[in-house]
Structure formats: structure tokens, C-alpha cells
Amino acid sequence: MQRDVIAPLVIAALVALAPFAGQTDYFIHILVQILLWGFIYTAWSLMGRFGLVSLGHGAFMGIGAYVTVLLWNFFELTPWIGMPIAVAAAVALAAIVGWPCVRLRIVGHYFALVTLALTAVVALSIVGLRDITGGSLGLTPNREAAGTSIYAFQFASKTVFLYVALVLWLIGLFVWRAVDRGMGRYALQAISSDEDASASVGINVGVEKIRIILLSAGLTALGGAVFGQYQMYINPETVSGIGVSLQIVFAVVAGGMFVQLGPTVGAAFTLILAETLRILIGNEYHAADTTIYGLMLVLFIIFMPKGILGAVFAGLERAKAKAA
């Protein structure tokens, strides 16, 4: 078996054992967060690694979370159906925005700006439709009486969510692997460096690009939907909006977007950093953690463009080359 199968399975096995080791709820909570965000970051990197830098994933995540909760609250539609609908909605939006970008060859910074606008539009719509969405105050899924209900996708125990998040995370990594091993990776790498030359060897540039965009958007929406169910509270700031879009990019840049586990490392790194800063600094200096975040992002881009895991692998390669 290959590294891209073994490593995820070994990590998954260790995480699966965590609840049996008598870990605290807080520890489990951190793990769930790392896995859910790790999944979303992995979904983002599916396209980000090919030069399709999207600042629109806050929109897709928000749609995933909001559509699921709204369908439940207003129509009592189980999230088991609501989540696929939410994913379909995000995919449809990605197609509406993505296809013109592909046709008109909006790439690079311009693509990032178009997707940034998408995030802003979705976040403002959520705030604006406050009668339905609760606006800036956010929204809580109607709670099933017992607190735990498979039908309502509500679980009082964090351990259940740990396993849900674990499965989701593994799905993300295996989608990554499938893309990485297929001809699609070559096609997308070729497209990211030269669209005309790619077309001339027979790559259908438009179809390849839109396919990875839709895949990435759909998985992100799924992550958002599960995240909303886990938190049992969503608001435009935490699951949508420009803040979320930027958070995704920062974490992925930190962890490394070109290697399979890079986005997960980014999730672990940023969450542990945020928690540490929060505990050390407390709430006294409100923006201190974000400031340090921003500073670190700049440092990462300058000194470690491949991210933590990317730099580690590059170092190992160099050591191996030296030894040989």
C-alpha cells in the first residue's frame, strides 16, 4: 500500500481510539474541529493547488450550513436529505459563478476577486434575510427533545461527532488521492501553467476546471453542513463571510496545499495556535490573536511557501538526495 493510504488510516485509527483513552470533552472538541476544518481545507486545496485560489469558499460553507438548518427548522426536513440539497445548492452556485470565469478565462488574482465578491454577496444575503436566517444573531437548529436523534442529525455526545468528522475527513483525503493519481492531476497542472498549450494536447480546459471547482465547492458545503450540526449554532461570521474564506487560505498556506495531509496540518496548527493564544492572552487584548495570525501568514508566504508539511517533505527529499 502507498503512503497516501497508510498515513490517513494510521492517523484515523489513533483518533478513533482517543475516546477510549479517557480524554476530556475539551480534547475531543479540539479533535472534531481539526477534522472538520481539515476536511474543508482539503476540499479547498483540491482546486487551490492548481492555482485556482478561491476566496469564495466561505460562501459554499455558509450555504451548506444554512440550507441544512433552514430546511430543518422550517420544513422539518431531516438533514439526511437537507445536507444533499445544501450541497446541490452550493454546487449550482459554483457552476453559475464558475462557468463564466472558466469561459472568460478569469484566472489568478481576478478569479480570487470574483470569488471574494461571491462570499460577500452570500454573507450579506444571510444578514439581510434576517427574518428567515436570524441575521447577524445567527440561527440554532430546533432541538429534538432528547438531545440525540439520528433523524435530526443531533448528537449530545461529542464522541459521535468525532466519528462523523473522522469519516468525512477520510473521504476528503481519498478524493484528494483519486484526483492526485488520475490523469486529471496532470491535466490541471498543465492548465494552471498554460491553458492554450493544454488545449493543444487535447485537454478540455473548461470541463477539467469546472469539474474540480464543483467538486471542491460541494465538499466544502458538506463540511459546512456537518459543522453547523455539530455547533448547533451558526452565524454569518462563523460559517460564512470573508473571515472564513481568509481563514481557509491562511490555514492551507500554513499547512501546505500541495501535499495530501498539508491542509490537515494547517487545521491542527491554526486551531492549536488560536487556542494557545486565547488561553495565554485571554480576552484582554481582543485582536492580539488575529494580529499574530496575520503576521504569521506573511512570514509563511515569504519563508515557507510550501507550508509546514511541504517544507518537511522537501527537507526529507534533500536529506535523502544527500545520503544517496
Partner 1 sequence: MLKLEGVSAGYGDFQALFGASLDVQAGEAVAVIGPNGAGKTTLLRVISGIIPLREGHLSMEGRPLDRVPAHRIIETGIAHVPENRRLFPRLTVEENLKIGAYLPAARSRFAERLDFVYSLFPRMKERRNQLAGTMSGGEQQMCAIGRALMSGPKLLLMDEPSAGLAPVIVQQVFDLVRRIRSEGYTVLIVEQNIQQVLKVVDRAYLLEVGRIKLSGKSADLLASDEIRRAYIGL
Crossing angle between the packed helical segments 262-281 and 241-255, to the nearest 10 degrees: 110
In this complex, which beta carbon is closest to partner 1, that of residue 22 or of residue 202? Answer: 202
- Cβ proximity to partner 1: between 195 and 289 the closer is 195
As given in the structure block, the three cell numbers for residue 300 are 509563511
CB 52 to partner 1: min, Å: 15
Site for partner 1 contains 34 (CB under 8 A): no
Among the listed residues 148, 193, 290, 291, the single contact to partner 1 using CB under 8 A: 193
Minimum distance from residue 176 beta carbon to partner 1 (Å): 19
Mark the segment that binds partner 1 (CB under 8 A) among 64-72, 124-132, 185-193, 269-277: 185-193
How many residues interact with partner 1 (rule CB under 8 A)?
17
Q: Which is nearer to partner 1, 103 or 286 (CB)?
A: 103
Task: Give the C-alpha separation, 167 to 35, whole Å.
Answer: 9
Binding partner 1 (rule: CB under 8 A), the pick from 148, 189, 276, 291 is 189
Neighbours of 139 (CB within 10 A): 20
Instruction: Give the C-alpha separation, 111 to 54, whole Å.
Output: 7
Q: Please, are residues 119 and 242 in contact by the beta-carbon 8 Å criterion?
A: yes
| Those residues with Cβ within 8 angstroms of residue 206's Cβ, 6 or more apart along the chain or in another chain | 99, 102, 103
Q: Which of 110, 151, 186, 285 binds partner 1 (CB under 8 A)?
A: 186
Which stretch, 68-76, 122-130, 183-191, 232-240, contacts partner 1 (CB under 8 A)? 183-191
Q: Give the range of 168-176, 196-204, 222-230, 315-323 binding partner 1 by CB under 8 A.
A: 196-204
User: Per CB under 8 A, which region of 192-200, 221-229, 237-245, 301-309 contacts partner 1?
Assistant: 192-200
The span from the CA of 210 to the CA of 214, in Å, is 6
199 is a contact residue toward partner 1 (CB under 8 A) = yes
Q: Rounded to whole angstroms, how far apart are CA atoms 9 and 39?
A: 15
> Which residues contact residue 130 at a Cβ distance below 8 angstroms, ignoring those fewer than 6 apart?
136, 137
- Interface residue with partner 1 among 183, 321, 323, 324 (CB under 8 A) is 183
| 197 is an interface residue for partner 1 by CB under 8 A | yes
Rounded (5°) CA angle 74-33-142: 20
> Least distance from C-beta 47 to partner 1, angstroms?
17
Amino acid at position 155, single letter: F
Beta strands, E only, the chain: none
200-239: contacts with partner 1 (CB under 8 A): 200-205
Smallest separation, CB 319 to partner 1 (Å): 18
Distance CA 282, CA 288 (A): 9
Please say whether the dihedral angle defined by the alpha carbons of residues 177, 20, 164 and 32, taken in this order, is positive or negative: negative
Name the segment binding partner 1 (CB under 8 A); options: 56-64, 184-192, 270-278, 308-316: 184-192
d(CA 37, CA 69): 19
| Region binding partner 1 by CB under 8 A among candidate stretches 42-50, 134-142, 187-195, 225-233 | 187-195
* Residue 236 contacts residue 136 (beta carbons within 8 Å): yes
Q: Which residues bind partner 1 (CB under 8 A)?
A: 183, 186-187, 189-190, 193-194, 196-205
